[in-house]
Amino acid sequence: MESYLLTYLLFTPIVGSVLLLFFPKSQEKAIRWFGLAVTLAAFVISLVIYFKFDSSLSTFQFTHQIQWVKSLHISYSVGIDGISLLLILLTTFITPLTLISSWSAIKKNVKLFTFFMVFLEAAMIGVFVSLDLFLFYVFWEAMLIPMYFIIGIWGGERRIYASVKFFIFTMAGSLLMLVAIIWLAVYASNQIGYFTTNLLELYRVGPNVPHEIQRYMFLAFFISFAIKVPIFPLHTWLPDAHVQAPTAGSVILAGVLLKMGTYGILRFCLPLFPQSAVYYAPYISVLAVIGIIYGALVAMVQKDMKKLVAYSSVSHLGFVVLGIFALTPESVQGAVIQMVNHGLSTGALFLLVGVIYERTHTREIAYYGGIAKLVPVYATILMIVSLSSIGLPGLNGFIGEFLILIGSFQSQVLGSWWFVIFGATGVIFAAVYLLWMYERVVWGRVTNPKLETLKDMNTRELVVLIPILIFIVWIGVYPSTFLNVSHAATQGILHTVSSFTFNFL
Amino acid sequence: MENSIFLQLLPHIILGTAIVLAVVIEISTEKSKQILPWLAVLVFFANAIIALYRIPESVTVYGMLSVGGKAAIFDFIFNFGALIGILSSVNYIKKYGAYFGEFYIIVLTSVLGMMLLAGSLDLFTVFLGLELMSISFYILAGINRKKLSSNEASLKYFLLGAFATGFVVYGIALIYGSMGNTNLKFMFNHFPNLISHPLFVIGMGLFLIGFSFKIAAFPFHMWVPDVYQGSATTVTGIMSTIGKAAAFSVLIITLTAVTTGSAPHTFEDYFIAISLLSMLYGSIVAIAQKNLKRMLAYSSIVHAGYMSIGLAAGNAASIGGIIFYLAAYTFMNLGAFGVISIIEGENDDRVNLDSYAGLNKKSPVLAGFMALFMFALAGIPPLAGFFGKYYVFVGAIEQNLVWLAIIGITASVISIYFYLRVVVYMYFKDELEDFTIEKNIPGLTAVAISALAVLVFGIVPDLLMSVIISALK
């Protein structure tokens, strides 16, 4: 039973999305509820997995392996550790909420939309559970198609440009990764006697690849993930995709899709190519810090709320990358928890922007002003989420950023305080751009008469946002619940890296 | 003895009998147009099934032809592909103004030519098969003689094709001159000695150039865009898939000497050059195309390039990969041309991208199929097209041709743009042209079969790959 749990989790949305195709197009209500039921079922299964998960182990659990393509030794091989578990929970938690949030926003072709959302969930789960590089690659690419359609069909004015750019950017990176995967598998066939893409076997092969070649391999994987994260200067697709995507698309994009990049770095780049990871860590950290500051500065001058949140993602994910490549226990733990935090906070910010956009059909900051009196509940929730994104102690953002900065401070791999000193300015800038936006939108007097009729949040919207708020406070007040889950796994990765390089722990 | 040879040649005999029978039916009854397509479907289906049974064992007939084994895999691809092509054509050729019984007869003869090519063990058989296939194609390209575009396509194809055949014949003559024999087995066995013979090398070079023309590789591609655009859509579908597969089968057979002989990679540089140029040229020029048939013509050049990577690598993994790729390409391309043939109007219209704008609203089913074929052609996993590329790349990297694989993925990234553009038009744009799509049950069946094959061979590639591997051993 236990070994099948991940398969159930993965196939629930796959089967659900196929069943959705048999619904008549006009039955929009039934389609919406069915889509919600499928994603909630996936959430329940992931909770079962959470309670059965033994967080004291750093090895993969619930593993399950079936031969898939015999001629190339590709297997359907799944399993999770603490890092994947947190991200799976985030995925299954966010997806039903976004589905509910889209009930009023998506009026066109509901069937196709729900199908793509549920299928997207399956692909995202697939990415987090795969223990075979090939299987991982299949899900990594499969995820592109639904997102491409979601942006392209239900997006804003420049949706075609944004969706094609999104697709080509990601594809360009991942094809490079494909060549590296094949190269690694061919190398493995010379070392251990057979062609394999099994991750656990490649963990033993990767670190022994001659270092000059290993660096190319590392870069091939890393660029693919860096595009997804996105790390400066590969971020240009992100603002376009975010701004053009419908709210549900933006939430999934920010909440889960970007994490796939940082997850990939943790799962593949570090343990497969530890020497190269240490070699490149300072350079990548420089890019991360540039990303933190650049994203924040650009966010500051945005006139469009959604664009502001999009650029803030570049800044926040810079922290995650810095934490990963500082390679200390605290910073990597901080990076993992920050991945979850960013998913919750930024997801919530996009939802909130979506809520008000549905009412006024504009995201121009200048259009608003003084809405605190008109929509007090909305203003309060926006305040809490903004503060969480800024990193106020007591809310989730603080924990992640604090751990990352503390860890990077002690990092021997980085070997300099300057990373932290510059990185920390990102926290200050975050306060500037978010509070400034908040001030312009919420406070002051109502200057725009069109706003007088603005309605506050309805029950459905509260149902979507309150669960997120609960976790924002929970992680902020008692982070151990979540840190414990990933602790053993991050230590395991760091142990692998240090055992192949030098003892810096 | 006599009996067993009869059995071994059964598929060829079935096809030959069917051709004669079809001619008789065509002469004797007015209703031939309704009978012949189903006769052809029946024959192709029977031959495809027989081919499947004959894969495990390969037999040589009089030293001229091999049946079973690798040849049987190709026979399966040809017959199954032709079956799909015929189903697409049943309603289409009425619309196209080529409602003749001869159409089916000529498709039957072309498949007979392909089967001779894939089984050839002698340069004479190669030539015989090549001519039977090519001449059938020249006629098919010009099947509607009242249409200017069709005439142009046929004439261009014929003139340039005859030129290429001339290369092949001249090559065969020189090879014969250098080894005093036309037997391919003889050539394999004496390859190391022959390769030092300048006449032989020139002969092989001419031979390969002739077939590079047939697989539509750069720089022998000049005929492709015009012929693909001008011919009837379903004819283009057949030519571009199983016709290409037949030409590749000969290249694979002749290069067996390279893979098994003691002088490997003699022609590696040649194939590297044509694959590199085909991939880059085809993918860049395809971006500028508005006509879907023309776009797929350039895409066909790109795919010839990917497959040639496998010829350059020339190891077991890549040869298996090419065969898988050819099968996958047959299904996805026939499917795409099938959709185009359903949508196409009476006067060669409705083949431009604009006609596909908002197709999802007109016909969600056709749009869904077309999107599937476009993603498969672009190589998105887990569809059949991806695995073809994957196997070929594995072969290339095993042969240390990593840089060629990287050029290959560069071309893939460029290709995504024009494949996705079709999807963009179908799903993201509003309708630009107002027309209704006629009901076409056989055509839709053909498309559905192709789609099923693209999905099944993508999700369970072993179904096909294990067979290919066993046949190559």
Number of other residues whose CB lies within 10 A of the CB of residue A40: 15
Contact assignment for A175 to B412 by CB distance below 8 Å: yes
* Whether B234 contacts B293, CB under 8 Å: no
Confidence (pLDDT) at B400: 85
Contact assignment for B469 to A71 by CB distance below 8 Å: yes
Nearest to B301, CA basis, from B208, B214, B407, B420: B214
Total count of domains within chain B: 1
SS3 A393: coil
Contact assignment for B409 to A159 by CB distance below 8 Å: no
Write down how long chain B is: 473
Q: Does A26 lie at the interface with B, CB-CB under 8 angstroms?
A: no
Confidence (pLDDT) at A103: 86
B70-96 vs B102-119: helix crossing angle, rounded to 10: 160
Give the mean model confidence (pLDDT) for residues B382-397. 89
Residue B235 clears pLDDT 60, i.e. is over it: yes
The residues, any chain, with a CB within 8 Å of residue B338's CB and separated by 6 or more, are: B84, B88, B234, B237, B443, B446, B447, B450
Give the mean model confidence (pLDDT) for residues B455-471. 88
Q: Does B359 lie at the interface with A, CB-CB under 8 angstroms?
A: no
User: What is the helix (H) or strand (E) element at residue B223, kind and residue range?
Assistant: none
Confidence (pLDDT) at A440: 86
- Poorest-pLDDT segment among A186-195, A326-335, A376-385: A186-195
Confidence (pLDDT) at B436: 83
Contact assignment for B390 to A178 by CB distance below 8 Å: yes
Confidence (pLDDT) at B294: 92
Mutate to test the interface with A, among B393, B455, B463, B472 (most CBs of A within 10 A): B393
Is the link from the previous residue into A230 a cis peptide, with omega within 30 of 0?
A: yes
Give the mean model confidence (pLDDT) for residues A139-145. 89
Q: How many CB pairs under 8 A join A and B?
A: 82
Confidence (pLDDT) at B87: 93
Confidence (pLDDT) at B157: 92
Taking CB atoms and an 8 Å cutoff, what residues of chain B touch A195? 394
Give residue B132's pLDDT band: very low, low, confident or very high (50, 70, 90).
very high
Of A71, A153, A164, the CB nearest to B462: A71
**Phi-psi bin for B363: left (phi > 0), alpha (psi -120 to 50), beta?**
beta
Alpha helices in B239-315 (DSSP H): 244-260, 268-286, 292-313
> Half-sphere exposure of residue B16, counting CA atoms within 13 Å on the CB side?
10
Residue B1 clears pLDDT 80, i.e. is over it: no
Of A69, A178, A186, the CB nearest to B461: A69
Contact assignment for A171 to B427 by CB distance below 8 Å: no
* Whether A322 contacts A289, CB under 8 Å: yes
Nearest to A91, CA basis, from A255, A316, A242: A255
Give the mean model confidence (pLDDT) for residues B450-463. 91
Show the domain range for B328.
2-472
Contact assignment for A182 to B380 by CB distance below 8 Å: no
CA A39 to chain centre: 18
Number of other residues whose CB lies within 10 A of the CB of residue A277: 25
* Whether A122 contacts A46, CB under 8 Å: no
Q: Does A190 lie at the interface with B, CB-CB under 8 angstroms?
A: no
Question: In this structure, what token pair is assigned to residue A458?
Answer: 């309805």
Nearest to B164, CA basis, from B75, B243, B111: B243
Whole-number percent of chain A with pLDDT over 90:
26
Contact assignment for B409 to A183 by CB distance below 8 Å: no
pLDDT tens across A23-82, in order? Answer: 888 888 888 899 899 999 999 999 999 998 888 888 888 888 888 888 788 888 898 988
Mutate to test the interface with A, among B318, B419, B423 (most CBs of A within 10 A): B423
Nearest to B130, CA basis, from B145, B109, B116, B149: B116
Average pLDDT of chain B, as a whole number: 88
Taking CB atoms and an 8 Å cutoff, what residues of chain A touch B421? 164
Taking CB atoms and an 8 Å cutoff, what residues of chain A touch B391? 72
Confidence (pLDDT) at B3: 62
Give residue B259's pLDDT band: very low, low, confident or very high (50, 70, 90).
low
Mutate to test the interface with B, among A140, A149, A179, A187 (most CBs of B within 10 A): A179
pLDDT tens across B323-370, in order? Answer: 999 999 999 999 999 999 999 888 778 888 888 888 888 888 999 999
Confidence (pLDDT) at B258: 52
Question: In this structure, what token pair is assigned to residue A309?
Answer: 């949140």
Interface of B with A in 409-428 (CB under 8 A): 409, 412-413, 416-417, 420-421, 423-424, 427-428
Contact assignment for A70 to B428 by CB distance below 8 Å: no
pLDDT tens across A161-174, in order? Answer: 888 888 888 888 88
Contact assignment for A171 to B413 by CB distance below 8 Å: yes
> Half-sphere exposure of residue A69, counting CA atoms within 13 Å on the CB side?
25
- Long-range CB contact pairs, B429-436, < 8 A, 24+: B429/A160, B429/B357, B429/B358, B430/B357, B430/B358, B431/B357, B431/B358, B431/B361, B431/B362, B432/B354, B432/B355, B432/B357, B432/B358, B433/B350, B433/B354, B433/B355, B433/B357, B435/B345, B435/B350, B435/B355, B436/B362
Contact assignment for B380 to A145 by CB distance below 8 Å: yes
Nearest to B456, CA basis, from B387, B374, B367: B387
Question: In this structure, what token pair is assigned to residue A263?
Answer: 């997850």
Of B381, B406, B428, the CB nearest to A153: B428
* Whether B242 contacts B78, CB under 8 Å: yes
Contact assignment for B398 to A72 by CB distance below 8 Å: no
Which residue of chain A is at minimal alpha-carbon distance from B399?
A186
Taking CB atoms and an 8 Å cutoff, what residues of chain B touch A148? 420
Nearest to B323, CA basis, from B409, B249, B381: B249
Question: In this structure, are strands A74-80 and A61-69 parallel, antiparallel, or unpaired?
Answer: antiparallel
pLDDT tens across A204-239, in order? Answer: 888 888 888 888 899 999 999 999 888 888 888 888
Interatomic CA distance for residues B427 and B378, integer angstroms: 17
Of B382, B402, B423, the CB nearest to A183: B402
Which residue of chain A is at minimal alpha-carbon distance from B466?
A71
Q: Chain A closest CA to B405's CA: distance in Å?
A: 7
Give residue B2's pLDDT band: very low, low, confident or very high (50, 70, 90).
low
Interface of B with A in 268-327 (CB under 8 A): 320
Nearest to A68, CA basis, from A137, A118, A115: A137
Interface of A with B in 126-165 (CB under 8 A): 137-138, 141-142, 144-145, 148-149, 152-153, 159-160, 163-164
Three-class HEC string of A279-343: HHHHHHHHHHHHHHHHHHHHHHCCCEHHHHHHHHHHHHHHHHHHHHHHCCHHHHHHHHHHHHHHH
pLDDT tens across B51-107, in order? Answer: 888 888 888 888 888 888 888 999 999 999 999 999 999 988 888 877 888 889 999
Whole-number percent of chain B with pLDDT over 70:
97
Residue A505 clears pLDDT 50, i.e. is over it: no
Give the mean model confidence (pLDDT) for residues B436-459. 91
Which residue of chain B is at minimal alpha-carbon distance from A112?
B364
Confidence (pLDDT) at B301: 94
Whole-number percent of chain A with pLDDT over 70:
99
Give the mean model confidence (pLDDT) for residues B306-326. 88
Give the mean model confidence (pLDDT) for residues B147-169. 90
User: What is the helix (H) or strand (E) element at residue A9, kind and residue range?
Assistant: helix A5-20
- Poorest-pLDDT segment among A146-160, A256-270, A440-454, B160-174: A440-454
Interatomic CA distance for residues B423 and A164, integer angstroms: 10
* Whether B184 contacts B65, CB under 8 Å: no
